[in-house]
Amino acid sequence: MIKAGIIGGTGYTGAELLRLLHNHAQAQVIAISSRSEVGRRVDEVFPSMLGQSDLVFSLPDDAVLDECDVIFFATPHGVAMKSAGAFIEKGIKVIDLGADFRLKDKNEYRQWYGLEHTQSDLLASAVYGLSEINREQIKNANLVANPGCYPTAIQLGLKPLIDNKLIDLSSIVADCKSGVSGAGRVVNQAMLLCEASESFKAYGVSGHRHYPEIKQALYSLAGESVDLTFVPHLVPMIRGMQATIYVDLLDGNKDVQSLFENAYKDESFVTVLGSGNTPETRSVKGANFCQIGLQKAPDNNKLIVISVIDNLVKGASGQAIQNMNIIFGLDEKLGLEQIGLMP
């Protein structure tokens, strides 16, 4: 049985880790930390855990965390950077759901997150944890940088096209929408019901923190520079993310439907819909699946790729558990076989 610890257990991703790991056949959460809730029972903070857990929130430096086989950091940016090394030195695997080890360029990290990166060795050794792309590297990783939600949806939507050199890399547009849970479990006026409900808006148009991560990942896939326009939007729902991606095909006669189906036929968590069908966020709500639909524009070589995920599951905690399964040589599906909630 894998002993898991969660640092930062009161946010949405921490709570989602707790929920998903509760039904994992080969893993058990033995420690969960929160400075604000230390000493309180988990089921006091999350009544959904009543009768399911007797865990008590500890401090992030509590000795019980040293008994873990894997630590998940579901913390604000900068926390894992300071603390991950001590766990790794003790032979504990670390999976960071934040951004501390996603960007390989420390100057970009400082530019986008306003922090100096102080752990060059850890940054160099960290494996970017998009399971469907870096599975082999993840198997031997001590430190996994779990991808952001927008980068996950976009990369899965573009990977088969880039791998097969089928698109113009100078004109990619990713028009993306996310529910309000993507902003985290913090007090934020813009996320209040009266502010977000019955409204729709773009944000981060001049620059979003996930932009350099997406650019870095696409460069890694393509082996050359990629010109990307990325615009995220806030939609009045709790969970869910859709990336609508516009690309120009180099050969408009290519059977991209078969290409995607073949590319993902062995992937448990990526489903390519039938020709002409478009995915919906509600189909993956609460689940670790990415659904992809394809549509060619009628009069030109434009291809529209629609990729949907649950931003808290495949976009965060579910993917972190998928990475844990890979690291420990388990079936990737363990603890993640829930299907989307309907309605």
Query: Could you give phi then psi for residue 328, rounded to 5 degrees?
Result: -95, 15
Q: Is 149 a catalytic residue?
A: yes
Catalytic residue among 149, 176, 194, 290: 149
Catalytic residue numbers read: 149
